[in-house]
Structure 1
Amino acid sequence: MSRTEHGSSCALAFDDVSVVRGGRTIWSDSTFQVDAGGFVAVIGSNGAGKTTMLQVILGLVPVARGTVRVYGERPSVLNNEIGYVPQHYDVEASTAIRGRDAVLLGLTGRHWGFARASAPDRKRVDEALEWVEATDIADRRLSELSGGQRQRIAVAAALVAHPRMLILDEPLASLDLRNQHEIVALLARLKRELGVTILVVAHDLNPLLAMLDSAIYLLDGHAHHAAIGQVVDSELLTHMYGTPIKVAHTLQGDLYMRSV
């Protein structure tokens, strides 16, 4: 499995960005850059603006001040090159359709149902299903699949157009521990083999910590970006979430977080 590399070394750049919604400033004065090919968490307390952050990157919400660039272009220009997995995927895609049809919908979008899929489209769907190791469930209806299997289909639908960036909103929510581990391993492999930049909104970082390079964190009305080792800090996380958070190490030396 291989993928053509894109030239830009900067996937995401915020320059003095402020966002206002309904007359309220969500976050402001935010400047940072995310390198291409990274595995990045997007974290913050409830109401801090994580969903707004995704919508800005997707070009769905304009900024009040500053500039945002995704691979050097305005977000709205590159929406076709950003794959998005929503938190409630089952709501976005009818559970009555087959897995491969849901993946095709990720490619054809609004043209769904108006024409037969072309041979190149079918090839892309097959390729995306192979990437997420879901070929064997492709012809089953989403309603027949487990949560982990549906999440693989959702990732395939986000990847089928060959995006440079993959954004996932709470991809581990409602999954059991085994499926969480499998989805995290899948994302790490896709990052490594396809070279996509991955942004993941997550409340619980523990399942992702071994794979993360950095985090965009929303704190005190601003968006920041730092290496994951700097973000996984008891004092910073306690301040961010408003409850005591302890950062510790396992016997193997891995980081983990817990409330105290």
Structure 2
Amino acid sequence: MLSIRGAGLRRDDRELWSGLDLDIAAGEFIAVLGPSGSGKTTLLRSVLGLQPLSAGSIEVGGGAHRAPAHRRGDPRIGYVPQQRPLPPDTSMRARDVVALGVRGARFGFPIPHRGDRERVDVLLDGVGASHFGDRPVGLLSGGEQQRLRVGQALADDPMLLLCDEPLSNLDLANQRAVTEIIDHRRREHGTAVLFVTHDINPILDRVDRILYIAGGRFLLGTPDEVLRTEVLTALYGTPVYVFRTGGRLVVVGVPDAETHHDHGEDASEGTATIIAGGAV
């Protein structure tokens, strides 16, 4: 579903990562972890064609991927962003948000086509949002709004789903609900999932492999292969400890990257973060 070969990416005079090879098969769930500013979101932007690589190539579905400048999006790819509350006075209904995914790639005014309403109804049902489909979207909870974003991302029946910290700012119940929707999609339809997250715990039992990016380097493997004290210590070049407690992973001693921004990611130099049990 996705093939990345020899990929490298620089920002200004700083190399985020290089030499990345990654193949994602149908139905595979890959989590992307790493400290703030390591290039996790930028990787998704490159797959979307919004951020050119400094080296290497990206292919989606066995064919070369072109940037959106050449066409209006790629229907093979669905994108779920972070949860950001919509203003209470937003005039759209819940179904209107999902309808943007159904009609959004068309040129000109969004004139409804035959079958659009039925497609929106199917998508609302698929994300458990049918019962609030006609409510103003600004009055919905964060979890309800995020269900709609997932529904919008699935409008074109994509083969690849990119998720950029979609569980951020959600409570545990809504994290589980949104995770279940995404996991059900990949199991039932074979959709590959590339999932950037600051907390591995809500998705740990769903993940097939982890891509861990830090300090211009990366590791790729199963959770048991990557989330180990000796492995992360070698990756960071400083002591890092992985603990399992109460069915959760806690990783301590990880220094943040140097102060910079990664399209919404920021960090402070010289601090220590707790990852996998909180923020990665």
Report TM bin, short chain.
Answer: 0.7 to 0.9
Within 5 Å, give how 1:38-187 maps onto structure 2: 38-76=28-66, 79-90=74-85, 95-109=90-104, 111=106, 114-187=109-182
State the 1:76 CA deviation: 2.6
1:247 to 238, 243, 246: 243
Q: Which residue of 2 aligns with 1:31?
A: 21
Q: How many residues align?
A: 246
SS for the counterpart of 2:115 is helix
- TM-score, normalised with respect to structure 2: 0.79
Comparing both structures, which one devotes a greater share of its residues to helix? Answer: 1
SS for the counterpart of 2:53 is coil
Specify whether residues 245 and 206 from structure 1 end up closer, same or farther in structure 2 by C-alpha distance, changes over 3 A only: farther
State the 1:73 CA deviation: 1.9
- Say which is worse superposed, 220-229 or 106-115, in terms of deviation: 106-115
Q: Which residue of 1 aligns with 2:256?
A: none
What's the CA shift string for 1:114-158, capped at 9, x where partnerless? Answer: 243112222221111111111111111111111111110000000
- TM-score, normalised with respect to structure 1: 0.85
Specify whether residues 68 and 51 from structure 1 end up closer, same or farther in structure 2 by C-alpha distance, changes over 3 A only: same
- Say which is worse superposed, 41-50 or 214-223, in terms of deviation: 214-223
- d(CA) in 2 for partners of 1:69 and 1:222? 22
State the 1:100 CA deviation: 0.8
Q: Which residue of 2 aligns with 1:257?
A: 250
Identical amino acids, percent of aligned pairs: 36
SS for the counterpart of 1:29 is strand
CA RMSD, Structure 1 to Structure 2 (Å)? 2.5
Amino acid at match of 1:204: D
Amino acid at match of 1:135: S
- Say which is worse superposed, 149-158 or 75-84, in terms of deviation: 75-84
State the 1:86 CA deviation: 1.4
Specify whether residues 112 and 32 from structure 1 end up closer, same or farther in structure 2 by C-alpha distance, changes over 3 A only: closer
Unpaired stretches in structure 2, ≥5 consecutive residues: 68-72, 254-280
- d(CA) in 2 for partners of 1:239 and 1:109? 45
Amino acid at match of 2:140: L
SS for the counterpart of 1:215 is strand
Q: Which residue of 2 aligns with 1:226?
A: 221
Structure 1 segments, 4+ long, off by >6 Å, are: none
Unpaired stretches in structure 1, ≥5 consecutive residues: 1-10
State the 1:194 CA deviation: 2.1
SS for the counterpart of 1:76 is coil
- d(CA) in 2 for partners of 1:24 and 1:257? 29
State the 1:22 CA deviation: 2.6
Specify whether residues 233 and 22 from structure 1 end up closer, same or farther in structure 2 by C-alpha distance, changes over 3 A only: same
